[in-house]
Amino acid sequence: MERNGDDSILAHEPIADSNGGIAGETTAVLSANLILDNVGEVALALDSDGLLSWRLLEPLRSDRSDCCGIKRSPLVATSIKLADVYAVEFVDHGLIPESNLSNPARCLLSEDSQIYHLVIHGVQTSKCHPCRCILDKYVFSHKDRQICQTWVNLINSRLDKEMQRPKNLLVFVHPKSGKENGRTTWENVSPIFARAKVHTKVIVTERASHAYDVMLAATKEELSQYDGVVAVGGDGFFNEILNGFLSLWHKAPYPPAPADFVQSLGDYGDFSMHNTNERGDEGDSGTCYTGDGSQLLLPKEGFRFGIIPAGSTDAIVICTTGARDPITSALQIVMGKNVPLDITQIVRWRTTAESKVEPCVRYAASFAGYGFYGDVITESEKYRWMGPKRYDYAGTKVFLRHRSYEAEVAVLQVNSEETHPVEGGNQHRHFRAQRGLNKRQKVICRVNCEICTANPAVSSQSKPDSQRGEMGWLSFKGRYLSIGAAIIACRNGRAPDGLVADAHLADGFMHLILIKDCPRAFYLGHLLQLAKRDGDPLNFEFVEHHKETSAFTFRSSGNSSIWNLDGELFQAHQLSAQVFRGLINLFASGPPV
């Protein structure tokens, strides 16, 4: 044990192992008296469980208040877990006025002496918005440089042992995303990465598909330098980066399909394993995802994706953090939070009824929609100068147009309760009677969700056909206002509960929603319920909700719409789709309980 003067003690305490013995390494546990900014002299300690705590010894004179002769000190926090510390800094200059010093503190910091600062940057949950993370900072001071430097070294050493925290990131910034504030958003959060000593290579995109082309051209050696890729933009921008990555690194069979669908493809009816990953044989890529009949070869172990919201809807961020807040997302990225995310593979076989079969693979992380959803995106492209308001304007125009499309859809049925048929009754009754009694119990996906964190090896898709309870294909043909496949809940500013409130992030299923042709007023009722908190947009006679399906196929007839994949346009006359459970990992923690 060393005594560094002024009651500052540096103790090296051995840490016991799980059997009660002494572990091979000793962890330095520091105990010292320092001055906490705006509080006073405190005894600071760090225990073996990673709890940084301090005890007030003497308040600063300027912070005392008298009431009826009773002297009080300000109410402040007395501890922080290292798990909630995202950075620690050493500042080697500064002065503290004598008037702010109590008598004992003068022993630590003499008048007009050079002092040194230990700055702890932490994270805490907002009391007003439990889904948001806010910045927290504690400044400790001492005249002994070694005391402060030792604290910095010790805390950094402990933080470095948390291997999940990233060190190097590739960051793509979309300057035109949302309200064209992508660059400003990054400038606001970049100091967080600098303080946390996370090195970032920033690429500001200059054209459409710029990020896609960079990811497509990146070699394994280049990507292995990074712990992950971060998108500063919206869902469409993330989709661009995701497709550029998975088109090279994901190996999977084409989606399953019913017999008549396969026969229509002719020579392309072979749905065996295909591989767009031309670089997958470059050697061991660190980890290999082997579930759901696919392989994902990562550039390095623990490679993840992140999103800092700067888009028009930011549904993926809202569903994975609970808040559309760049600070929250940035903090969860630097602290290495992790949540698995389902990804849907979509294969276009024909662009028109007359075109040749030319398989084209795309991926979606949140939503794939046809009809109304595709028409809105197509219309909104004409009004990009309006910013996010273009979706409201385009949506109104498309709604008034009220166009339906002829299509045939086949759904892979997983269990007997996957569909929710409408009870009988008058066909003119557009809303179910006793709606409150018929509402399904919604199990919302939250942080540490038991469904999403279950072992993927026992998921329904990982099981052989004879074990996963598949009941074959259900086919539907008719006119539809919209067809939507929700991979996650798809919460956003226009749909606070999302399209499917109880969809999960990584359960290996999609929710297929077919909106049959109906009077405009009835469809308006569906949209109003969608825009309402605690609404029930799926509880209508003209809505078919096929819950928890792993695959579906689609064929259009006559005039066609266009598909909307995470906000990106995708022309397809005939396609098939399947979901892969937890295919990627996202820098996020999941919405709080």
H runs (alpha helix) in 279-352: 315-321, 326-334
User: Which helix (H) or strand (E) segment is 558 a member of?
Assistant: none
Residue (of 265, 217, 208, 510) closest to 363 by Cα position: 510
Rounded CA separation 368/510 (Å): 10
Q: Sign of torsion, CA 272 278 282 287?
A: negative
Strand partners, 364: 344
DSSP 114: -
Residue (of 171, 193, 197) closest to 182 by Cα position: 171
CB within 8 A of 272, min separation 6: which ones? 253, 254
Angular region, 68: left φ>0, alpha ψ -120 to 50, beta rest: left
CB within 8 A of 329, min separation 6: which ones? 189, 306, 307, 308, 309, 317, 321, 587, 588
Give the three-class secondary structure for 221: helix
End-to-end C-alpha distance for the chain, whole angstroms: 44
Strand partners, 30: 10
Angle at alpha carbon of residue 126, lines to 120 and 129, rounded to 5°? 160
Residue (of 482, 546, 455) closest to 509 by Cα position: 546
Rounded CA separation 281/277 (Å): 8
Q: Widest CA span of the chain, in angstroms?
A: 93
- Which two tokens mark 352? 């028109």
**φ, ψ dihedrals at 276, nearest 5°:** -90, 0
Asked about 213 being catalytic, the answer comes back as: no
Contact between 198 and 159 under an 8 Å Cβ cutoff? The reply is no
Instruction: Give the other-Cβ count within 10 Å of 345's Cβ.
Output: 23
**φ, ψ dihedrals at 366, nearest 5°:** -130, -45
Instruction: Give the other-Cβ count within 10 Å of 66's Cβ.
Output: 8
Long-range contacts made by residues 16-25, C-beta under 8 angstroms, separation at least 24?
none
Instruction: Give the other-Cβ count within 10 Å of 97's Cβ.
Output: 9
- 84, 235, 292, 497: the catalytic one is 235
Q: How far is CA 333 from CA 31, 41, 127, 203, 317, in A?
A: 31, 34, 21, 18, 12
**φ, ψ dihedrals at 38, nearest 5°:** 65, 10
Judging by DSSP bridges, how do beta strands 288-291 and 273-275 pair with one another?
Answer: unpaired
- Which two tokens mark 539? 């509880």
* CA 394, chain centre distance (Å): 28
The residues that are catalytic are: 235
